[in-house]
Amino acid sequence: MIRKKNPYQNLSEASFWKVAISDKNMFDIGNLWSPKFIIEPHHRVSTFGSCFAQYFGASLKAHGFNWFITEPAPLGLSDTNKKKFGYDLFTCRTGNIYTTSLLKQWVNWALEKSDFPSEYWEYEGRFYDPFRPNIEPLGFCSIEEMFSSREQAIKSFGKAIKESDIIVFTLGLTESWFNKELGYEYPMCPGTIAGVYDEQSHIFMNQQFEFVRRNLSEAIDSIQHVNKKARFILTVSPVPLTATKSESHVLVATMESKSILRAVAGQLSKNRPSVDYFPSYEIINGTPFKGIFFESNQRSVSKVGVSYVMDTFFTSLDKNLNVSQNTIFHEKTDAATNLTELDDSMCDEELLAAFTGTKK
């Protein structure tokens, strides 16, 4: 019998589950990412987003790429204190930017499309920034110092979005908290890390697809308006939610949240030549990997898992884009060390676990 031609006949091996997955050892599964654009070692690459974005910055630096730091740590500050006070985690001291609406909020502040709020939190004579509640773990000495630090972070963020060649953004959450009257968003619910929760002033929102998509699109448009060369690599944090306010089981809430973020990132990547998607989420959560990249708590990504994700990232760049062979893998001596220094203590959301069992 002569088979008729069909659209599947000339597809690559990667298009078929049996030969791409079933017939392979899980560590031989390849071709998971085909980068859209060349990343040269001289390109300025900024990193922002949820906790998982921290790994991209450290890895870029370790592999000899130009991780663009616009708010360097003071001279002499130890590596431990750099991380404790939010230096060298992201391109500048924004703290975690979990949602696309928070990203747009930072963009609007930096481009002076909106004023940053005057809100501050006080506890036992120390002052905390509601938009970076853990950036000074013991609080600022004064209100003036807190606002000066926030202004510097916004200025540094503005420099990053205006001068970067590539911006890596890790989408982390859909669950979010807003000031009910003034409309601005907090990275964490007031009263968890610092501040006081007031149900009359604070409102919860579990963001849906169109809200997430619109905010990310508008943030990208605003950045490219002032920086036409800017390109973006989106990825979704594979780390499950620590806690949910959605009234769903935390597993169901996690799958809903990550599915929305993955769909948004995929759509923007498909529709915009300047936006690419890297599959961190799939590498850690994909069924072929059987959950082996999680620690025993089924939430934290192991060091092996992080290394596997980052190796996939740089191997794909090397294979597909002819990046300088003298750069990738030949300057990764400190890569493992840098990655293992990062742990959940830099994730504000992780602190929500402390509220387990406090229900009255």
Of the candidates 245, 353, 340, the residue with the CA atom closest to the CA atom of residue 299: 353
- Please tell me the distance from the alpha carbon of residue 304 to that of residue 340, in angstroms, as a whole number: 10
Parallel, antiparallel or unpaired: strands 126-128 and 121-123: antiparallel
Q: What is the pTM of this model?
A: 0.92
Q: Measured between alpha carbons, how far is 223 from 39 in angstroms, rounded to an integer? A: 19
Q: Answer yes or no: is pLDDT of 205 > 80.
A: yes
End-to-end CA distance of the chain: 71
Per the rule left: phi > 0, alpha: psi between -120 and 50, beta: everything else, 111 is alpha
User: What number is the average pLDDT over the span 153-164?
Assistant: 98
- The count of residues in the chain is 360
Q: How far apart are CA 163 and CA 155, in angstroms?
A: 12
CB 80 within 8 A of CB 60: no
Mean pLDDT along residues 174-202 = 95
Q: What are phi and psi of 136, to 5 degrees?
A: -125, 95
Token pair, residue 42, equals 């001289």
C-alpha to C-alpha distance for 241 and 253, rounded to whole angstroms:
8
pLDDT at 231: 98
How does DSSP assign 27-54, residue by residue?
GG-------SS---TTSEEEEEESTTHH
CA distance 236 to 267: 13
190 versus 330: which is more confidently predicted? 190
Backbone phi, psi, residue 285, to 5°: -100, -10
Task: Report how far residue 52's alpha carbon sits from residue 238's, in angstroms, rounded to the nearest whole number.
Answer: 8
Question: 77: closest CA among 88, 93, 91?
Answer: 88
Q: What is the pLDDT of residues 270-280, one digit of tens each?
A: 999 999 999 99
**Over the stretch 2-18, which tens digit does the pLDDT of each residue have?**
677 899 989 999 999 99
